[in-house]
Amino acid sequence: MPEGHSVHRIARQFERNIVGRRVAASSPQGRFAEGAVLLDGREAIGVRAVGKQMFLAYEGELWLRVHLGMYGAWDFSGEILVDPTIASANGRMGQTNQRGTVLDEPVLDAAGENSLASIGAPRRARVHVRMSEQTTGLPEDDAEWPPPVIGQVRLRLLTDLTCADLRGPTACQVQTPDEVQATIAKLGPDPLVDDPDEGEERFVSVVRRKPTPIGLLLMDQGVVSGIGNVYRAELLFRARLNPHTPGRDVPEDVVRGIWRDWVRLLRIGVETGQMMTMDDLSPEQWRAAMARRDDRHWVYHRAGLPCRVCGTAILLEEIAARKLYWCPSCQA
Ligand SMILES: [Zn+2]
């Protein structure tokens, strides 16, 4: 499931390639036909990501709200300008702000999690994305434009040069500005949207008065935005905190530490496209961790394997129908 870092990456791709342009909208699959008619031909004027949701503003006071949910993804094709802040999976700033040129080759994850062409639930990009330096102007002569529709495309957004196809979202709807405000008001703080200090105070005050286990509070988008199953498990391990501890029993300095850690990890996630949660890796370990999920987490997806710190077998349990991984010794 895409976590907050993916949605911020998508928003940056939209900022570069869709905002400021007139955008054709259609619903090849038909399930968003009425919404697409409302948006078709309008200019996109801004984009916001909050937690796991993206809001695209159009002229005429209309917004598109998209929540990818478990299976949603955006696929970009045609000419895409790669946002330099997300272009390098090495976390370095490559010279990537030329059209379609990636000079600093990222380490790509085998499962495609940090793809620049397909962002959301991991899947293979189905369409060609131009990344070569020779590219100027229009798509290749032999490339079909617009690209053929493949699979269940809920929404296709098309500019002169760029095509963005949305498949499998949990939510895709047109909202008024008031509706957008109401949606965002229900969401907990997002370190890349809210002032980090104010966000910290909001997070701490909510967590510290709840009897709910911290392992559930971190997944509650009304408490904090953008954390999913991977970041939840990793943040708790990094804090050496038992996931079943009621929020109100977690010491205040630990709650503050979790928020600050989330601020750090989210930034890394947006830059690299990976939920990189391990520190102090050698360059070799870093490359391995970027390439393989199994090499970049402390506890996530490591059920039964020895804890990287103490050797105890990592536990897997179901909590609120989601898998939770933790070390019963380090997080006693
Ligand atoms: Zn351990």
Which neighbouring-strand residues pair with 173? 65
- The full set of domains in the chain, from first to last, is 4-182 (3.20.190.10), 188-326 (1.10.8.50)
* pTM of the model as a whole: 0.86
Among 16, 48, 52, 302, the active-site one is 52
Contact 262, 234 (CB under 8 A): no
- 10 Å CB burial of residue 7 (0-12, 13-18, 19+) is buried
Identify the residue whose tokens are 């105070």: 201
Residues of the chain with pLDDT under 50: 88-105, 123-139
Residues 6+ apart with CB under 8 A from 68: 1, 2, 6, 7, 52, 74, 120, 121, 168, 169, 170
Residues 158-211: tens digit of each pLDDT: 999 899 999 999 999 999 999 999 999 999 999 999 999 999 999 999 999 999
- Number of Cβ atoms within 10 Å of the Cβ of 142: 5
Contact 120, 72 (CB under 8 A): yes
Among 31, 264, 267, 322, the active-site one is 322
Which neighbouring-strand residues pair with 157? 25, 164
| pLDDT at residue 127, rounded to an integer | 37
Residue 2 annotated to the active site: yes
- Number of Cβ atoms within 10 Å of the Cβ of 200: 20
Distance 127 CA to ligand 1 centre (A): 43
Residue 3 annotated to the active site: yes
| pLDDT at residue 254, rounded to an integer | 98
Contact 253, 208 (CB under 8 A): no
The string over 285-300, giving b where at least 16 C-beta atoms fall within 10 Å of a residue's C-beta and e elsewhere, is ebeebbbebeebbbbb
Distance 244 CA to ligand 1 centre (A): 16
Query: Pick from 55, 75, 69: which is nearest to 158 by CA?
Result: 75
Distance 315 CA to ligand 1 centre (A): 10
Among 3, 113, 200, 271, the active-site one is 3
Beta-carbon neighbours within 5 Å of ion ligand 1: 307, 309-310, 312, 327, 329-330
Which neighbouring-strand residues pair with 73? 120, 167
Q: Which strands make up the sheet holding 118-120, listed edge to edge?
A: 24-26, 155-158, 162-167, 73-78, 118-120
